[in-house]
């Protein structure tokens, strides 16, 4: 009797491949900040706690509002109550990350993302996407012209034949559908890149000259390290550094 083992093995591989290919991609993990302790520095706004500290006449408020995925996002507001002019630069902000929720365990020092570099990267990404799409269209245009030339050559050589029966002429409907799909995909990519660039331009804390009596708000972002549960956000102001102890909670 002939063995069915090879057939069984083939079916097993096929089932495993289908199960793997049909598996849905899990959504990214979502995180949220909260104060590490209940101190007198807390201030509540619409049910959300913020930590407020002051040094040398500079008040810094770090909110725990919002959620994030790949980058730790710290909403911050800085008010200059001193008589000096202050220059803020997000490159001077850093945080100490720890894989435990206590404030004693040594952690990893991570500097804040530089908005100017991120904005320039998105500008370059837009240029690269436009160039890639143009090259793709040039290549398709070449092959389309080549196909038309071949159609004309065949049609001239078969003048006594029925073109519909011989099927020599190209069907442009499929080409048009593909071009429309490519165009939509291209503009979707451009829109996504520009939305991300707009976020870094308008929502983040960028280099700012802060005169006495002025305030500025924005997000400071840090690369998310897997397993991080606690951060000590360090904000340099004048000759002082204000520390904000924050816990990271995974929501999903």
Instruction: Please write down the HEC assignment for all residues of 36-55.
Output: CCCCCCEEEECCEEEEEEEE
d(CA 81, CA 31): 33
Task: Give the domain 31-115+204-250 fold.
Answer: Immunoglobulin-like (2.60.40)
d(CA 24, CA 39): 44
- What sign has the CA pseudo-torsion 219, 224, 228, 231? negative
Torsion of CA 100, 106, 108, 109, to 10 degrees: 120
User: Poorest-confidence range of 28-32, 82-86, 156-160?
Assistant: 156-160
Write the pLDDT tens digit of every residue in 39-89.
778 999 889 999 999 999 999 999 999 999 989 999 999 999 999 999 999
d(CA 79, CA 77): 7
Token representation of residue 113? 């993302």
Q: Note the pLDDT of residue 183.
A: 84
170, pLDDT greater than 90: no
Q: Span 233-247, mean pLDDT?
A: 92
Q: Note the pLDDT of residue 168.
A: 47
Q: Note the pLDDT of residue 8.
A: 45
Q: Where are the domains of the chain?
A: 31-115+204-250, 119-158+174-200
10, pLDDT greater than 50: no
Instruction: Give the chain's mean pLDDT.
Output: 81
CB 122 within 8 A of CB 196: yes
141, pLDDT greater than 90: no
User: Poorest-confidence range of 4-18, 60-74, 237-251?
Assistant: 4-18
Q: Span 117-124, mean pLDDT?
A: 95
Residue 56 backbone zone (phi > 0: left; psi -120 to 50: alpha; other: beta): left
Q: Note the pLDDT of residue 156.
A: 59
């Amino acid at each position: 009797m002939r063995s069915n083992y090879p057939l069984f093995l083939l079916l097993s591989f096929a089932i495993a491949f289908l199960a793997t290919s049909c598996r849905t991609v899990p959504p990214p993990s979502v995180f949220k900040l909260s104060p590490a302790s209940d101190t007198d520095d807390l201030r509540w706004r619409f049910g959300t706690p913020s930590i407020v500290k002051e040094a040398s006449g500079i008040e810094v408020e770090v909110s725990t509002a919002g959620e994030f995925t790949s980058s730790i996002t710290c909403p911050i507001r800085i008010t200059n109550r001193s008589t000096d002019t202050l220059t803020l630069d997000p490159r001077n902000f850093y945080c100490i990350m720890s894989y435990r929720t206590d404030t004693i365990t040594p952690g990893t020092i991570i500097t804040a993302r530089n908005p100017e570099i991120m904005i320039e990267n998105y500008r370059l990404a837009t240029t690269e996407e436009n160039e890639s799409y143009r090259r793709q269209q040039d290549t398709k245009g070449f092959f389309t012209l080549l196909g038309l030339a071949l159609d004309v050559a065949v049609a001239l050589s078969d003048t006594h034949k029925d073109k519909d029966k011989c099927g020599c002429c190209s069907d442009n409907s499929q080409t048009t559908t593909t071009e429309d799909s490519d165009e939509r995909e291209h503009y979707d990519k451009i829109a996504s890149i520009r939305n991300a660039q707009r976020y870094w331009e308008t929502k983040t804390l960028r280099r700012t000259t802060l005169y006495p009596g002025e305030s500025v708000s924005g997000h400071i972002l840090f690369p998310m390290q897997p397993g991080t549960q606690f951060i000590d956000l360090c904000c340099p102001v004048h000759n002082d550094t204000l520390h904000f102890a924050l816990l990271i909670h995974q929501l999903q």
